Amino acid sequence: MRASSKGLNVHTRRVISYVVLVLVTILCLFWFYVLFVNATRSHADLTKGFRALPSTNALKNVNSLLHSSNLPILSGLFNSVLVAGCTALLSTYFSTMTAYAIHAYDFKLKNFMFTFILGIMMIPTQVTALGFIQLMRKMHLMNSFIPLIIPAIAAPAVFFYMKQYMESTLPLELLEAARIDGAGEFRTFNQIALPLMKPAIAVQAIFSFVGSWNNYFTPALVLTEDSKKTLPILIASLRSADYLKFDMGQVYMMITFSILPVIVVYLVLSKNIVSGLAVGAVKG
């Protein structure tokens, strides 16, 4: 009797958990559905209020967006992909390398360097913006992607995450065994440390990509030519247009364009995240 009652309680809790997860999933995905539906509607239709079913104005919105003389949407999409992709790749690689150096080697200033890097996390970007812009002007790097990519390599938050992940997944004995076998330091890092760090790299690559993709502040200060502007700047310029030229259908379609690459990146890297969680569960 007790066994059947216990089994029933477990089954009930499982059903409740699934119901709650389904409801949370629907709540999270509902706003994406609203965005996609609004992207298929015209400006006049959007002013009438919410509609649950898609309309037939999607191709018209895409066509007007792609052929807009004031909005180079394709170049903006390419610029955002280039900047966000390079930022995610370089910041995760070099932050992992920095965390590896702090984790694998013992030197006098090890604790100080770790604390110093974490202290940089407390400095807001807006505080250093004026000096950063002046430096970029002196180096003649304004209106280029270099100020958006190279400084992003130094990512203290990514470094801290990688360092904490290495503490639990990268034993020093494994590195010592590789050195005894004659492997160089770069080979040890690239062929032993990096494969073990795949789940953490996938997580931080997503965060770095999304952070750079949604970044508006620094690109707005650095980029001046329309052909080099990223999507957040173009979306802001579209929303700030004159009322007579303002088209909500174009705005929703452009926002849809802006989130599709983020979804693709997440789908590509989500496999590593799930496998990393599974490995952690097995170890536990």
Per-residue pLDDT reduced to its tens digit, 69-99:
567 778 888 899 999 999 999 999 999 998 8
What is the pLDDT averaged over residues 26-52? 84
User: Based on C-alpha coordinates, what's the Rg of the chain?
Assistant: 24
41 and 89 both lie in a single domain:
no
207-235: pLDDT as tens digits: 888 888 888 888 888 888 888 888 888 88
Write out the residue range of the structural domain in which residue 93 sits.
Answer: 61-283
How many domains does the chain divide into? 2
The per-residue pLDDT for 7 is 55
**Same domain, yes or no, for 42 and 85?**
no
Q: Residue count of the chain, please give it.
A: 284
> What local confidence, expressed as pLDDT, does residue 94 receive?
92
The whole-model pTM stands at 0.79
Question: pLDDT digits over 170-211, tens only?
Answer: 888 888 888 888 878 888 888 888 888 888 888 888 888 888
Same domain, 40 and 144: no
Instruction: Name the domain boundary from 57, 74, 91.
Output: 57
Residue with tokens 């004026």: 130
18 shares its domain with 77: no
What the block records as the tokens of 39 is: 């992207």
Half-sphere exposure of 207 (CA within 13 A, CB side): 16
Residue predicted with more confidence, 104 or 125 = 104
Residue 277, pLDDT above cutoff 60: no
265-273, long-range: CB < 8 A, 24+ apart: 265/88, 265/205, 265/206, 265/209, 265/210, 266/206, 269/202, 269/203, 269/205, 269/206, 270/202, 272/198, 272/199, 272/201, 272/202, 273/199, 273/202, 273/203, 273/206
Average pLDDT, the chain: 81
Domain boundary among 12, 40, 57: 57
Return the exposure string of 70-99: e unless at least 16 CB atoms fall within 10 Å of the residue's CB, then b. ebbbebbbebbbebbbbbbbbbbbebbbbb
pLDDT over 70, % of the chain? 89
Residue 284 has pLDDT above 50, yes or no: no
Check whether residue 127 and residue 53 sit in a common domain. Answer: no
